[in-house]
Amino acid sequence: MNQSLLPFRPANLRPESVEKLAFIASDTEEAQEAMQILAAAYGSVPADKADVIVALGGDGLMLQTLHTHMGRGKPIYGMNRGSVGFLMNEFREDGLRDRLMKADITTIRPLVMTATDRAGEKHTALAINEVSLLRQTSQAARLQVAVDGRLRLEELVCDGILVATPAGSTAYNLSAHGPILPITAQLLALTPISAFRPRRWRGALLPHQARVDIEILNPDKRPVSASADHTEIRHVAKVSVHEAEDIEGVIMFDSDHGWDERILTEMFRY
């Protein structure tokens, strides 16, 4: 499915009610048990009928849930029952509706990736965290990078490159030594992965409305794959990335530990 063609519905930032809740969970025993407990305590309705969707698991489940309901204005509140929980709130059984009423709400706009493979076929996918390009073999990738139609790097020899949103700046981008971005920053991070030439280039901060076009040089000899979060396209020839203008997701955090606080905490972690 071409997710960029989802209909746009403006996000309802504050649900009028939190009476109707939908619970979804990852496949782990811990998450499934939590879902049964919460559904018995608060009742459960199908996701399309819910005021709020409660996701029980780790960050992977949260990303999957955001992708599924992107553009539908459905607030999603996560509770950590997984191994990684940067996007999740602390799990507690009691006081859930009160927490939901007091929660901070943030809207996020994904990146739209259009990847053209070597056969000329175009593939479109959305990325909440990042779009990443990676070499497929032992040979380094050779990439050419343009921003808003202007060539910026004639040749980047590297393991790869990524374009990260503020939401994704603490994920793969951070591991690649990219900058952490406040969630409200109207910026994108363009970060190289193990750059060999030019060795001193450390990336760039771009306006959020920028369009990044990446051409793979010699793609037959040096194949490259492109991924938008969990959607991977192999043997790409060129990739275009820009922020979606008409699609958004809605995520909820406990008011005493909102996303801004999480970002700041990560900035001072050592």
Please tell me the number of Cα atoms within 13 Å of 136 on its side-chain side.
Answer: 17
The reported pLDDT for the residue numbered 190 is 98
159 is in an annotated binding site: yes
Name the pLDDT band for 82 (thresholds 50, 70, 90).
confident
129 is in an annotated binding site: yes
pTM score of the predicted model: 0.86
Q: Is-catalytic flag, 59?
A: yes
> Residue 191 and residue 175: Cα distance in Å, rounded?
10
Please tell me the number of Cα atoms within 13 Å of 66 on its side-chain side.
Answer: 28
Residues 169-174: what's their mean pLDDT? 92
- 91-94: Cβ within 8 A, 24+ apart: 91/34, 91/56, 93/37, 93/38, 93/41
Of the given ranges (19-23, 58-62, 141-145, 253-257), which has the lowest mean pLDDT? Answer: 253-257
The reported pLDDT for the residue numbered 11 is 45
Domains and CATH numbers, the chain: 3-109+248-267 (3.40.50.10330), 111-243 (2.60.200.30)
The reported pLDDT for the residue numbered 125 is 97
Average model confidence (pLDDT) across the chain: 90
Cα angle at 255 between 252 and 258, to 5 degrees?
Answer: 65
174 is in an annotated binding site: yes
| Tokens found for residue 161 | 């490159």
| Tokens found for residue 182 | 């406040």
164 is in an annotated binding site: no
Of the given ranges (3-7, 176-180, 191-195), which has the lowest mean pLDDT? Answer: 3-7
Helices (H), 45-143: 59-69, 96-102
| Tokens found for residue 140 | 């380094």
Please tell me the number of Cα atoms within 13 Å of 165 on its side-chain side.
Answer: 25
Q: Please state, in angstroms and as integers, the Cα–Cα distance from residue 218 to each residue in 30, 117, 139, 201, 238, following that order.
A: 47, 13, 11, 22, 11
Q: Please tell me which of 67-76, 101-110, 218-227, 246-255 the model is most confident about, judged by mean pLDDT.
A: 218-227
59 is in an annotated binding site: yes
Choose, from 27, 48, 51, 59, the residue flagged as catalytic.
Answer: 59
8 versus 75: which is more confidently predicted?
A: 75
60 is in an annotated binding site: yes
pLDDT digits (tens, 9 = 90+) for 2-48: 443 343 344 445 677 899 999 999 999 999 999 999 999 999 999 99
